[in-house]
Amino acid sequence: MAGESVISEELNSLINVEFGLEAYEIEKGMVRKFVEAIDDPNPRWQAETPPTFPAAIVPKALLNKLFNADIP
């Protein structure tokens, strides 16, 4: 099986797909929990959101497709 992709065609079809806009209300507590989860003690994150924070917010449509995809 050398050289054969483990990514199914269904998953591959999700690459570079645009999803509609979604609005999220971000609370300080959510950012604080995220900072604790990534174990980053930088005091800068007391005043602003870490640049990796958007990874915590995934469009619901994408999550639905990922969790229902046929994954080998």
Per-residue model confidence (pLDDT) at position 43: 92
Residue range 12-23: mean pLDDT, rounded: 81
User: pLDDT tens for residues 33-71?
Assistant: 999 999 988 999 888 889 888 878 877 778 777 777 776
pLDDT band at 2 (very low <50, low <70, confident <90, very high): low
Q: Cβ of 35: how many Cβ atoms within 10 Å?
A: 19
Distances (CA, A) of 4 to 26, 39, 63: 41, 36, 25
Per-residue model confidence (pLDDT) at position 44: 92
3-state SS, the chain, equals: CCCCCCCCHHHHCCCCCCCCCCCCCCCHHHHHHHHHHHCCCCHHHHCCCCCCHHHHCCCHHHHHHHHCCCCC
